[in-house]
Structure 1
Amino acid sequence: MTFAVSVGGRQVECAAGQTLLDACLRAGVWMPNSCNQGTCGTCKLTVRSGAVDHGDSPLDTLTADERAAGLALACQARPVGDVTVGATGAEGRATHPLRDFTATVLEVADIARDTRRVLLGLAEPLAFEAGQYVELTVPGTAARRQYSPANTADEDKVLELHVRRVDGGLATDGWLFAGIAAGDIVEVSGPLGDFHLPSEDEGGPMVLIGGGTGLAPLVGIARTALRRHPDREMLLYHGVRGAADLYDLDRFAELAEAHPNFRFVPVLSHEPEPGRRGGFPTDAFVEDVAGARGWSGWLCGPPPMVEAGVKAFKRRRMAPRHIHREKFTPADEG
């Protein structure tokens, strides 16, 4: 059984039990999306006609009053008949279609404390934007975990994932830091998320702040931005507990050599070391930049870091519309 979903002047088929977001993204119809777990509220939309089953939509993300007013979370809501919905900005906007595919593990390497790089080879190129993420299915389970490749859009045949171990995690301790090996086949879905450089990027100064492996999507975004405008001013902060958590320093040294206006700033929060910046990366930005009018800001990391970054950017007079964020949660369950 399928239902018709009308959105932004287009009509999409949605199977019974399929979410509105999944059906639209697979059809190449853009909808705002970020966590895709019902916790961020990014995909909230209006059901203009018809009805939906709200599924596991949390009440703190979608209140009872909002449901009564016709609002729904596209990542959780499933139509129970034909529906017409309104999603902000969906009209006339396209996206790379969401699809399921398999990948082959090419390499697994330890790159920092409790941190691994996993390279996945694809049989066919994946169309995506730098900064978007993919979902991996944990073998033997229905559980999925989200990882942001460090790739640029033209690096579409081998995905580079940075994975931090979660103590007791189903995906990390139980798989990615345990039995995974080169040659394994992995089930993947993607691309997902709206965290990427806009096409109308004009080359203004940028600051990017990543916490832990929240650095990964920023690597792709930074390299994409520098390819478009090689001389732009760019600050990239990497916040970690100690020097043992830093990685890819050679990569950033090469970027700095090729782009004189690029600067990489590692910041150690809990294990100070001579010659290294201490404290938190969001505070380091405030210390380094007196004013950020005309800048764009990019944040990816644990929710407290992202929230502190938004405050830091606003404190330096960055326009709210130029602040981009991705709450990179390694998931308590790993």
Structure 2
Amino acid sequence: MTAAHSVTVVGSDTRTVDCAPGQPLLDAFLRHGVYLPNSCNQGTCGTCKVRLCSGSVSAPEVSETVLGADDQANGYVLACQSTPTSDAQIEVPVDAGSGPRHPLRDLTGTVHEVSEIAHDTLAVTVGIDEPLEFSAGQYIEFVVPGSGTLRQYSMANPPSRPDRLEFHIRRVPDGLATDRWIFDSLAHGHPVEMRGPWGDFVHDTESDAPMILLAGGTGLAPLKSIALHALERDPDREIHLYHGVRHRSDLYDVEFWQSLADRHPGLRYTPCLSREEGFGRHGYVGDVLVDDFDSLRGFSAYLCGPPAMVDAGVKACKRRRMSGRNIHREKYTPAPAGAMVLT
């Protein structure tokens, strides 16, 4: 049997973990409760880059759009894609900061409910036997039955409800996880294999600034978790939620947000339709935000959805003079070809 390799993060807070054969660096560190920056876990965002100081790793070729040629020449690798082939030392970029330290776990859940909430969109509720410790905004990976392939879905429930996880899932045409499993056959009582939690897109509990939440489609899921968590901590928190979709049929949870706003006067809910008029506001969430505010100084923002929507939302926040360090973002991107498979 091949032995595990010892990998050390060098710096002011030296930490060492053992990586099993074939285990990615990121997976090993998070399972030991040791934080490394992470976001997509698919090798497409570059958030988890670390510098290999000594030792060797095995990893697939990385696009220069994710990890630049200079970084690669200087020994940087993606922790989510790199498996050590010897004992090693790695260095985390000094600007990586800190993040959630919830141990990564393998989970088995049971489907409690599958319900259609909008056009080509389902809400899936999964019960788990052992409560999951996570931060509002994080996600879980589902194991697609029969394939071992992983797909990422954000929790929509707050961390205070750790044993019943809620997900919002939009159909992807001919999608391995959606068309060929979740929308096709997933039902009450079915077992679901998962692992998590993952991600650095989380509620900053140290800040009490008024909040802007910009969601595109099912990007509403982690923002629901963040909003509920913030309101649990401060029922009077000022929160402005903008949910952008194309058509009225794509919109969901309208009554939930309207009812929540009735109970929390600091919460304002604004649905935005980009290709239809007659309900809510017409236009993209970033444009509507700019129309509503002359200044966003002192605000914090959380943006989640398609990349174009997130990029436009960031520009809108900065246009209204929000500090860049207060803008948190998560881009929903399609699973890449050759997405990670469990072995």
Change (3 A) 1:100 1:178: same
Q: Match of 2:7?
A: 5
Q: TM-score, normalised by structure 1?
A: 0.95
1:211 and 1:183 map into 2 onto residues whose CA distance is 30
| 1:216 equivalent in alignment to 2:218 | no
Q: Which residue in the other structure is 1:308 paired with?
A: 312
What is the match of residue 325 of structure 2?
321
Task: Decide whether the 8 Å contact of 2:304 with 2:331 is kept in 1.
Answer: yes
SS of 1:191 mapped into structure 2 = strand
Give the AA of the match of 1:21: L
Deviation at 1:37, TM superposition (A): 0.8
Quote the RMSD (CA, aligned, Å): 1.8
Residue in structure 2 matched with residue 107 of structure 1 by the alignment: 113
Say if 1:288 and 1:61 are closer, same or farther in 2 by CA, change over 3 A.
Answer: same
Partner residue of 1:278 out of 270, 278, 282: 282
Distance 1:92 1:167, change over 3 A: closer
Match of 2:77 in 1: 72
For 2:39, the aligned partner's letter is S
Please say if 1:165 is aligned against 2:167.
no
The Cα shift of 1:65 comes to 2.9
**Greater CA drift, 275-284 or 87-96:** 87-96
Give the equivalent residue in structure 1 for 2:122: 116
Report deviation, 1:51. 2.2
Letter in 2 for 1:231: D
> What is the deviation of 1:54?
2.8
Any conservation in 1 of the 2:242–2:269 contact (CA below 8 Å)?
A: yes
1:192 aligned to 2:194? no
Structure 2 residue aligned with 1:228: 233
Report deviation, 1:92: 8.1
TM-score (normalised: structure 2): 0.93
1:34 counterpart residue number: 39
Q: What is the distance in 1 between the residues matched to 2:41 and 2:30?
A: 12
* Structure 1: unaligned runs, 5 residues or longer: none
Q: Which amino acid aligns with 1:41?
A: G
In the comparison of the two structures, how many residue pairs are matched? Answer: 332
Q: 1:297 to 1:251 in 2, by over 3 A?
A: same
Q: Does 1:22 align with 2:27?
A: yes
1:150-175 residue CA offsets vs partner (Å, 9 max, x unmatched): 01111111110101111111111101
SS at the partner of 1:126?
coil
Is contact 2:105–2:196 with CA below 8 Å preserved after alignment? yes
Residue aligning to 2:245: 240
Taking only the aligned residue pairs, the percentage that are identical comes to 52
- Compare 143-152 and 252-261 and name the one that shifted more: 252-261
